[in-house]
Amino acid sequence: MSRAVPHPVLSAALVLMWLVLTSFSLGNLLLGTMIALVAGWAVEHLHPPRPKFRRWLAIPVLMLIVARDILRSNLAVARVLVLGPDHPAYHSGFVELHLQLRDPNAIAVMAIILTATPGTAWIEFEQEDGRLLLHVLDLRSEDDWQSLIRDRYEALLMEIFE
C-alpha cells in the first residue's frame, strides 16, 4: 500500500468497473482512474476499528433470523404493491428508536440488516445518543418495531460485538 494509491486493488477494481459500465476510450480510462484514486483516498480515512467478536455462535443465529425476516418483508412489500399504497390496511411512517449499541461495527451491521430488509430504510443515526430514525413501508405499530429491532437484532449484535 503506497501513499499515492492507498488501496490499489480497490482502485483497479473501480477502474475496471468504470470501463465495463462505459465504453473503453482514453477519456473514460483517465476519468475512471481519477475517480478510483479519489475513492481510494477517501476509503483510507473510513477504516473502522477491527471487529472483535465475543460470541461467534450467535452469528449463524442472527443470519437465520435476518434471512427469515427478509423473506417475510418481501412478502409484505409484495402485498402492499398488489393491494396498492392507498389501501387502508397499510400505513407507512417513521419510527424513532434509541439503540444501546455503541460498537461501530455492530452499528454498521445493524444498518446493513435494516437497509437490506425490504420495506425499511435507515434514514438517520445520531451517534451521541444512539437515536435512529427508520422509515417503514408497512408501519402498524411503532412499539412493535421498537421491540422487534431491540429484541431480534440489537440483543444478538450486542452479544456478538460488545
Residue 67's pLDDT is: 94
* 39 and 81 share one domain: no
Give tens-digit pLDDT for 108-123. Answer: 999 999 999 898 999 9
Rounded Cα gap, residues 51 and 40, in angstroms: 21
Q: 117: buried, middle or exposed (CB in 10 Å: 19+, 13-18, 0-12)?
A: buried
* 79 and 155 share one domain: yes
Residue 89 has pLDDT above 90, yes or no: no
Mean of pLDDT values over 11-36: 92
Tell whether 15 is covered by a domain: yes
Tell whether 49 is covered by a domain: no
Residue 133 has pLDDT above 70, yes or no: yes
Is pLDDT larger for residue 80 or for residue 27? 27
Domain of 113 in residue numbering reads as 58-161
* 24 and 62 share one domain: no
* 87 and 40 share one domain: no
* 27 and 79 share one domain: no
Tell whether 101 is covered by a domain: yes
Residue 7's pLDDT is: 79
Residue 46's pLDDT is: 78
Tell whether 1 is covered by a domain: no
Give tens-digit pLDDT for 66-76. Answer: 999 999 999 98
* 71 and 149 share one domain: yes
Domain count for the chain: 2
Tell whether 140 is covered by a domain: yes
Cβ neighbours of residue 76 closer than 8 Å, sequence gap 6 or more = 118, 119, 137, 138
